Structure 1
Amino acid sequence: MLPLNELLLFALAALGLVITPGPNMIYLISRSITQGRRAGLVSLLGVIAGFLVHIFLVSFGLTAVFMAIPMVYALLRWLGVGYLLYLAWDAIKPGATSLFEKQSFAHGPNADQSNWTLFRMGFLTNVLNPKVAVFYVSFFPQFTRPEYGSLLSQTIQLGLTQLVISATVNFLIVLSAARMAHWFKARPAYIRIQKWFMASILTGLAVRMAIDKGK
């Protein structure tokens, strides 16, 4: 197990990183503003599930293998770009209203489908972001030591610590951003603006991911 002082130092570093605006934070803020608190929280659950996948991969050394092969890194990056652009188009395509109307979260079958869609979007947005995997591979080894015991348990401990910090910070951000959603929802004329706002955010994230080629 990691010593408490090392774990606290890592937690402080992780906090500094999570409060720096990135794809996950921007996505959750835009989702909360355009669709409200519930949409933001469901999307956050998807992002958390994505973190769990990254933690599993880095814990068992798979991420290091992926990052060592440039073609795999490039493929993952372009899959992420393509998915973000797909979400942007899905937000503004003709007839795309269900995810942005107030009734999206009405009780019934459509509510469950909307929740699943939001969860899946948050999950894939995080999983297909190669920078998360690069962060884990480059940052975690700075805090793990053979003398502290099993490297696997240390990596999992660091991953769960980062996950809790990220989830807590983003949870507070979603609650704050969701307040703005009430203003939008009280004005039906802004539905079109909501859709284009979300599409612009997603397109911007895609462009940022596409031009950022460094590891």
Structure 2
Amino acid sequence: MNYLYSLILFAVVSSATPGPNNILVMTSGLNFGVKKSLPVLCGICLGFAFMLLIVGFGFGQVFDLFPHLHTIIKISGVLYLLYLAWLISSSSDGLGTKEQPEPLSFFNGALFQWVNPKAWVVATGAIAAFTTSNSEFAAQALIIAGTFLIVSFPCVGIWLYFGTWLKRYLNHEHHRKWFNFLMSGLLVFSVLPVIGELIKPFT
């Protein structure tokens, strides 16, 4: 029982603290509201639970066997994150007009987990800390993924409602645009460690 309490506490702290996922959801809530942001929220929560299962079932061993695959995924991930940052920075261009851009989709949220540095740290940390090398490893990985799935919806959802709350105070298009620039900048900043790893061999 103490194991489960510790796991739940870890999941709450990891999911509720600031990070790329929460920045993404908060920005979507500000620009599009709760209803239109539910797909990206579900994509983040379900996508991360799936990521935990993949990591738990030994996806890291694939990288050990094929190190170049890891580099390819990192490069693709950085490019995708920069694309998402661009979407956020330009998401206020059409506010209040017929050209209003579409909110991020379920697929965007799920795919974002694989380029989210915090998601990788939390996933590998959770599997390392809350599993043991015995016959129950698969069941333990399922429990961890299930716990994060349940906990992440309210924890990440809080940031979505925070974004809609901010909408009351950022009702001027100019203010929203600067807010979106700030959020996209934070997303780019969050991936700088990954970019540093990629260019390190060439320095």
How high is the TM-score relative to the length of structure 1?
Answer: 0.73
**2:109 is matched with which residue?**
122
What are the superposed Cα offsets for residues 128-173 of structure 1, whole Å, 9 maximum, x if unpaired? Answer: 22442343223323222356x5211110111110221122211123
Deviation at 1:44, TM superposition (A): 0.7
Aligned partners of 1:145 and 1:94: how far apart in 2?
A: 45
Deviation at 1:209, TM superposition (A): 0.9
Q: Where has structure 1 moved over 6 Å in runs of 4 or more?
A: 102-105
**1:34 is matched with which residue?**
31
**2:148 is matched with which residue?**
162
Aligned partners of 1:83 and 1:41: how far apart in 2?
A: 21
Over 3 Å counting, the alpha-carbon distance change for 1:60 and 1:121 in structure 2 is same
Over 3 Å counting, the alpha-carbon distance change for 1:19 and 1:88 in structure 2 is closer
Over 3 Å counting, the alpha-carbon distance change for 1:160 and 1:68 in structure 2 is farther
Aligned partners of 2:90 and 2:123: how far apart in 1?
A: 36
Over 3 Å counting, the alpha-carbon distance change for 1:26 and 1:6 in structure 2 is same
Over 3 Å counting, the alpha-carbon distance change for 1:150 and 1:104 in structure 2 is farther
Aligned partners of 2:38 and 2:96: how far apart in 1?
A: 17
**Aligned residues, how many?**
196
SS of the equivalent of 1:36 reads helix
Structure 1 counterpart of 2:79, from 79, 82, 94? 82
Contact 1:144-1:151 within 8 A present in 2 as well:
yes
Q: How many percent of aligned residue pairs carry the same amino acid?
A: 24
**1:144 is matched with which residue?**
131
**1:191 is matched with which residue?**
173
Point out where structure 2 has 5 or more consecutive residues left out of the alignment.
Answer: 198-203
**2:8 is matched with which residue?**
11
Over 3 Å counting, the alpha-carbon distance change for 1:13 and 1:89 in structure 2 is closer
Aligned partners of 2:91 and 2:17: how far apart in 1?
A: 35
**2:192 is matched with which residue?**
210
Point out where structure 1 has 5 or more consecutive residues left out of the alignment.
Answer: none
Over 3 Å counting, the alpha-carbon distance change for 1:134 and 1:90 in structure 2 is closer
- Worse-superposed segment, 154-163 or 26-35: 26-35
**2:200 is matched with which residue?**
none
Aligned partners of 2:163 and 2:115: how far apart in 1?
A: 24
Over 3 Å counting, the alpha-carbon distance change for 1:180 and 1:61 in structure 2 is same
Over 3 Å counting, the alpha-carbon distance change for 1:86 and 1:32 in structure 2 is same
What are the superposed Cα offsets for residues 41-61 of structure 1, whole Å, 9 maximum, x if unpaired? Answer: 332112123213303312321
Contact 1:78-1:210 within 8 A present in 2 as well:
no
